[in-house]
Amino acid sequence: MRLEVFGRINQGGTPLSGQDIRLAYYGDRSPSLALIRLAGIYDPDRQAAKRFLDNAQREFGLAYPWKNAGAKEVWRDWWEDKEISRGQTASESFLWSLMAAQVDRIDAILQNPNALQKINVRRFNRAIDEALDAYCAQLHWQDTNSTMPPALMSREELGDVFFPYFANWIELLIGQKGTNLPVTKHRTVAALIGAAYRARVDPNKLGEQNGYC
């Protein structure tokens, strides 16, 4: 109910995006949600980014995840100075990729009223924003109930395994000469990366000789 009221109040002034709201609402005491937000930072030198980087380091011991210099440069060039980059769209792109990587697991949660009640999601009306909310709600529940086995990726898999995989794909897909993928295709790119992770496709072995196009 609080989330719905927040959304309605947010209709005046400069509105927050759905991703702004879900990260703020579910982000308390959640290193997984903090990491999703960190993944969306394409310019770590901006004042707001610096503040969040400091907070994430202090509260969760999380550092800026874009370690690969090539991927970091590609990510920044893709989003920088684009109108679409406002409102945490870049971090939502990463969240889309996570959803695609675990579509079977999140679908099982969405179809289970008891699971939704456990994570305090009131309903699911088959809207994509509600699915994204539920994914974040589950991550928050896992982070705050660490003695229970996780239904989705653990924080460790998310940061140590999935994110480097995501970054490698970004460098390959966006940074490749002649690709020219517009940032408006970010959801398609994110879904492709998530599906490739689920299928265990190694981006470092792509090529016609390996059976990939």
pLDDT averaged over every residue in the chain: 89
Can you say whether residue 81 is alpha, beta or left, with left for phi > 0 and alpha for psi between -120 and 50 degrees?
left
User: What pLDDT is stored for residue 204 in this prediction?
Assistant: 81
The DSSP annotation for 119-186 comes to TT-----S-HHHHHHHHHHHHHHHHH-TTSPPSS--HHHIIIIIHHHHHHHHHHHHHSTT----GGGH
For the stretch 137-192, pLDDT in tens is 999 999 999 899 999 999 999 999 999 999 999 999 998 765 788 999 999 999 99
Over residues 92-144, the pLDDT tens digits come to: 999 999 999 999 999 999 999 999 999 988 778 888 889 999 999 999 999 99
Give the pLDDT of residue 38: 97
The domain segmentation of the chain, as residue ranges, is 2-10+17-203
Q: What is the pTM of this model?
A: 0.88
Contact 193, 98 (CB under 8 A): no
DSSP state of 30: -
Higher local confidence (pLDDT), 209 or 63: 63
211 has pLDDT over 90? no
CB 64 within 8 A of CB 53: yes
What pLDDT is recorded for position 212?
46
* Higher local confidence (pLDDT), 124 or 4: 124
According to the model, what pLDDT value does residue 87 have? Answer: 84
